[in-house]
Chain A
Amino acid sequence: MRHVLAALVENKPGTLARILNLFRRRGFNIESAAVGETDDPGISRLTIVVNGDNNVVEQVIKQLNKLIEVIKISNLSQDRMVGRELAMIKVAVDKESLSEIIGLSEIFRTKIIDVSTRSLIIEITGDEDKVNAFVDIMRRFGIKEMARTGLVALARGQKATEIERED
Chain B
Amino acid sequence: MSKNKKVKGTKIIVDSLKDEKVEYIFGIPGGSIIPLYDEYYDSDIKHILMRHEQAAAHAADGYARATGKTGVCTTTSGPGATNLVTGIATAYMDSVPLVALTGQVETISIGNDAFQEADITGITLSITKHNYLVKDVDELQRIIKEAFYIASTGRPGPVLIDLPKDVQTGETEYDPNITVNLRGYKPTYKGHPVQIKKAADMILNAERAIIIAGGGVTISGANKELINLSELLNIPVATTIMGKGTFPEDHPLSLGILGMHGTTYANYSVSDSDLILAIGTRFSDRVTGDASRFAPDAKIIHIDIDPAEIGKNVRVDLPIVGDSKNILNSLLSILKTKISNENKGRYKKWIEKVSTWKMEHPLHFNEKTDTLKPQYVIKRLYEITKGNAIIVTEVGQHQMWTAQYYLCKNPRQFISSGGLGTMGYGFPASIGVKIALPNSLVFDVAGDGSFQMNCQELATAVQNNIDVKVAIINNGYLGMVRQWQELFYNRRYSNTRLGYLPDFVKFAESYNAKGIRVTKKSEVDDAIQEAIRYDGPVLIDFRVEEEENVFPMVPAGKTLTNIIEVDKR
Contact = CB atoms under 8 A, between A and B. Distances in A.
Interface in A89-105: none
Contact of B184 (A14, A17, A21, A71): A71
A25 B126 contact: yes
Contacts of B130: 68
Nearest to B184: A71
B307 A62 contact: yes
A63 B309 CA distance: 9
Contacts of B122: 17
A12 to B, nearest CB: 10
Nearest to A24: B126
A124 B265 CA distance: 66
Contacts of A21: 125-126
Contacts of A62: 307-308, 310
Interface residues of A, number: 20
A66 B308 contact: yes
A93 B130 CA distance: 52
Given A59-B312, A65-B308, A70 B125 contact: no
A18 B125 contact: yes
A55 B316 CA distance: 12
Interface string A40-72: 000000000000000100110011011111110
Contacts of B126: 21, 25
Interface in B177-195: 182-185
Interface string B123-139: 00110001001000000
B121 interface: yes
A10 interface: yes
B311 interface: yes
Nearest to B154: A66
B150 interface: yes
Interface string B165-185: 000000000000000001111
B125 A17 contact: yes
A68 B308 contact: no
Contacts of A65: 307-308
A55 B184 contact: no
A59 B126 CA distance: 16
Interface in B286-315: 306-308, 310-312
A147 interface: no
A17 B125 CA distance: 9
A127 to B, nearest CB: 30
Contacts of A63: 308
A14 B307 contact: no
A1 interface: no
Interface string B107-149: 0000000000000011001100010010000000000000000
B182 A68 contact: yes
B307 A68 contact: no
B189 to A, nearest CB: 16
A163 B183 contact: yes
Nearest to B127: A25
Contact of B311 (A25, A58, A66, A163): A58
Contacts of B125: 17-18, 21, 25
Given A10-B184, A59-B308, A59-B312, A68 B121 contact: no
A70 B184 contact: yes
A14 B311 CA distance: 29
Interface string A1-29: 00000000110001001100100010000
A39 to B, nearest CB: 16
Nearest to B155: A66
B183 A71 contact: yes
Contacts of B312: 59
Contacts of A55: 311
A65 to B, nearest CB: 7
B230 to A, nearest CB: 30
B238 to A, nearest CB: 26
Contacts of A67: 184
Interface string A61-88: 0110111111100000000000000000
A66 B126 CA distance: 12
Contacts of A14: 121, 133
A66 B183 contact: no
A114 B312 CA distance: 50
Given A17-B125, A21-B125, A21-B126, A68 B311 contact: no
Contact of B150 (A10, A18, A68): A68
Interface in B455-499: none
A11 B126 CA distance: 20
A3 to B, nearest CB: 16
A65 B187 CA distance: 11
Contacts of A18: 125
Contact of A66 (B121, B133, B182, B306): B306
Nearest to B307: A62
B163 to A, nearest CB: 16
- Of B122, B308, B310, most buried by chain A (CB within 10 Å of CB) is B308
Interface in B349-381: none
- Of B184, B308, B311, most buried by chain A (CB within 10 Å of CB) is B184
A67 B183 CA distance: 11
A58 B307 CA distance: 10
Contacts of B183: 71, 163
- Of A66, A70, A163, most buried by chain B (CB within 10 Å of CB) is A66
A138 B513 CA distance: 80
A63 B306 CA distance: 10
Contacts of A9: 184
A90 B306 CA distance: 48
B375 to A, nearest CB: 39
Contacts of A59: 308, 311-312
Nearest to A64: B308
- Of A10, A14, A17, A25, most buried by chain B (CB within 10 Å of CB) is A14
A29 B126 CA distance: 17
Given A17-B125, A21-B126, A69 B184 contact: yes
Given A25-B126, A68-B184, A68-B185, 12 more contacts: A14-B121, A18-B125, A21-B125, A25-B125, A55-B311, A58-B311, A59-B311, A59-B312, A62-B308, A63-B308, A67-B184, A71-B184
Q: 4 tightest CB-CB pairs across the interface, nearest first?
A: A62-B308, A71-B184, A25-B126, A68-B130
15 contacts: A17-B122, A21-B125, A25-B125, A55-B311, A62-B310, A63-B308, A65-B307, A65-B308, A66-B308, A67-B184, A68-B130, A68-B150, A69-B184, A70-B184, A71-B184
